Structure 1
Amino acid sequence: MKKLKAAVQYECMTSFKFIWIFYAIQYAVVLLITLIVGISMGTFENLGTDVLEMNTLIYIGILGALGFKEDFKMLIQNGFTRRQIFTATLSMFCFISGIMAFVDTVVGNVIHHFNSGYSSLYSGIYGYDNIFMNWLWLFLLYVTLCNLLYLLMLIINKVGKTASIYLGVAAGGMVLLIIAVFKYVLSAEAVASMISFFMKSMGFMPDGTINCMFPVLTLAALAAIFGTGSYAIIRHTELK
């Protein structure tokens, strides 16, 4: 238990400081661009940005993609089990995602309060009615992306780069096949039913209302699936 606690603390604390570096750079860039554009145009009216969470998604994606190799090597060499390493990594994903979802939710709502034209990622889809659901949705979105990219990195390490390229090509072929099936094989009713199911999973009900719990449950299910896949692979993972 002490070793697991140490691994969790290591993963979370080593990533914590980079959050504020990320936000400092992001807001400095936004401010700089605003000043440059405003000065060049001679006015600061109608200037601004939208969906700052997209920057967080990029950062979170990098975290998920790079959260494997070096930390795994260091921890495995210091006697940590693969289960402990996976638990520590997942804890880090949740820890970082929770903080960044909170910051993005607060910043998005504050900016919208002073600039009604600003649209955040969540509010652009579901509105500003529920701040808690805003945070929860962002949190699960960030965790899901981390888990997905972590899973992809584990697969690449497991099968090797050459096999990964073949898998990527096969995945692209599967996408084209699915598109062809939707276009030429399935009936219009079947496609409409699938689209309706997808819209419901995102919270958009047939009667025009929005159910905010459905997208939360969808993201939680995806995060669990990707996390389970990662755990299944990391149990037999060796560094190459």
Structure 2
Amino acid sequence: MSVNPQACLPADDPSDGHWFEGLADHLGAAYLRYSFTKGTVREVDSLIALLGLEPGMTLLDVGCGPGRHSHEFARRGVRVTGVDISERFIQLATAEAPDGATFQRADARALHFDGVFDAAISLCQGAFGLGGPAVDTDDPQLLQPDLAVLDGVRRALRPGGRFAFSAFSAYFQVANLEERDRFDAASGVNHERTEIRSEVGGSTEADLWTTCYTPRELRLLVERAGLEVTQIHSADTGTYRPLDPSITTPEFLVLGCRP
């Protein structure tokens, strides 16, 4: 299976397709075997503190995948709604859901919530940074997909509601290019051709596109979406312990609120 690069264009409905869907359908539960999924408890520990979350508060998990963060937040008494474009991931998240966590299939670029959440997250490139290749000549920097995600988050939050999302670092990506990477300097998109395995062990090649950012670009994009940035950290993968921005960590963690 090769993912179709033309399926990545912004869509108003999940049925219009997104390049990540085929990837997620193939991975299924095998997604949770990757090492980057093993720090969930410590990541939620940090995010609870950074977002000021308490039992009974409401949280939107944008691009929730199989629900690992949503499940852990719900175990802490937070009422979580998880959304993901992958039907397979939503099935997995729902099957293992503790009380207080609900899930629905939705396109993160077309969220329908209106001022109902105390906080929102989008982690591990769950939605933000997955626009695909820069093939739209009207949007050569591929800003619109990520702006659409941020706009949906803004509308979903109550005034004063807080958000946290991760974004891949352009600094780190350029400094650590591998032979299989193709980095587009004009758009900041890294294209990787890689092999992925399914939950039953079958392997296939797949295309991965990740939009990478600098802190300055992230601040400008977030403010353009009508949100307010409070801090941008380098993220300590597996803990989300905030660090000073650097060129040696793979992700940035952006914190802020809806004014």
Q: TM-score, normalised by structure 1?
A: 0.24
Q: From the CA coordinates, give the structure whose radius of gyration is larger.
A: 1
